[in-house]
Amino acid sequence: MELREAIKGRRSIRKFKSTEIPRSLLEEILAEARWSPSWGNTQPWELYVITGPPLGELKRLNKEKSLSGELPAPDVPMPEKWPEAMKGRYGELGRIVLDTLGIPREDKEARNRYYLGMTGLFDAPCLLLACVPRDLRMEYAMLDIGLIVQTVCLLAHDRGLGSCIMAAAVLYPDLLRSIAGIPDDRRVVVGVALGYPDDAYPLNNFARPRAKMEDFARWVD
Ligand SMILES: Cc1cc2nc3c(=O)[nH]c(=O)nc-3n(C[C@H](O)[C@H](O)[C@H](O)COP(=O)(O)O)c2cc1C
């Protein structure tokens, strides 16, 4: 696949078929993703690949925690405030998602059902958890993780797989630690749901808005 086609064609997939991803394919993708850049070539990432029964257990307990109202305690704090322009775009995404699913804003129950689906990782047959050493300064480690995660998503797309980068997958890191055997001295940064996309699902098809190039490029010449 052309790089440009892959960059534009990759999109967040929010419903997956139950088909398992062959281990050899995941290995290929991860081996290629090693060529991602990182600060001083430190390659600070560790990717946990969770599938099969442990993933089923993770989804079940994740859902249970969310339903019980347990407060999320992610290793990387969630943003609490957004500058106006970003707040607007975030709100717009929420509106598009609800409209696409035909959920009226005031239908709290249907909204909650959707968010609960997120705790079940949109039925993905595979979850990657991207981790970094806890004692590493966060800022550049986050950048390095972003680079490898996007590389994985593009490589997955090239192989016909869908992905969704998910902060919602790492809200309860102690659960992830116990299921995946992640040591305490690692920070669980973000999850990536992976699987074959359910192409007919409306949320896998809506038109995604983007700011114009002129809105973010500043020319100095
Ligand atoms: C750090 C990060 C965390 C994200 N967390 C979630 C999430 O928890 N749930 C979700 O549905 N999408 C999540 N997304 C996906 C974004 O909503 C998506 O990338 C954005 O709307 C742009 O759409 P696109 O990926 O289809 O181009 C996340 C993306 C990033 C980069």
Q: What percentage of residues in the chain have a pLDDT greater than 90?
A: 97
Mutational test site, ligand 1, from 97, 122, 165, max ligand atoms within 8 Å of CB: 165
User: What's the pLDDT at 20?
Assistant: 98
Q: Are 184 and 177 in contact (CB under 8 A)?
A: yes
Say how many Å lie between the CA of residue 220 and the centre of ligand 1. 31
Say how many Å lie between the CA of residue 200 and the centre of ligand 1. 20
User: What's the pLDDT at 117?
Assistant: 87
- Is residue 94's pLDDT more than 90? yes
Say how many Å lie between the CA of residue 193 and the centre of ligand 1. 11
**36-56: per-residue pLDDT in tens?**
999 999 999 999 999 999 999
Pocket of ligand 1 (CB under 6 A): 11-12, 14, 93, 118, 164-168, 190, 208
How many residues belong to the chain? 221
- With CA atoms as reference, report the closest residue to 38 among 111, 115, 146, 160: 146
| Residue 140, helix vs strand vs coil | helix
Q: Are 197 and 47 in contact (CB under 8 A)?
A: no
For residue 119, give the DSSP letter: H
CATH 3.40.640.10, applies to 3-79+121-203: no
Atom index in ligand 1 nearest the CA of residue 169 equals: 8
Q: pLDDT-derived band of residue 80, with 50, 70 and 90 as boundaries?
A: very high
- Is residue 74's pLDDT more than 90? yes
* Domain spans in the chain, listed from the N-terminal domain onward: 3-79+121-203
| Residue 192, helix vs strand vs coil | strand
Tokens of 77: 């704090």
- With CA atoms as reference, report the closest residue to 15 among 154, 121, 87, 115: 121
Say how many Å lie between the CA of residue 221 and the centre of ligand 1. 34
Give the whole-angstrom CA distance, residue 18 versus residue 216. Answer: 39
pTM score of the predicted model: 0.98
Mutational test site, ligand 1, from 164, 189, 204, 206, max ligand atoms within 8 Å of CB: 164
Question: What average pLDDT does range 119-134 have in this prediction?
Answer: 97
User: What's the pLDDT at 105?
Assistant: 87
Q: pLDDT-derived band of residue 183, with 50, 70 and 90 as boundaries?
A: very high
The amino acid at 17: K
Q: How many H-runs (helices) and E-runs (strands) does the chain carry?
A: 8, 4
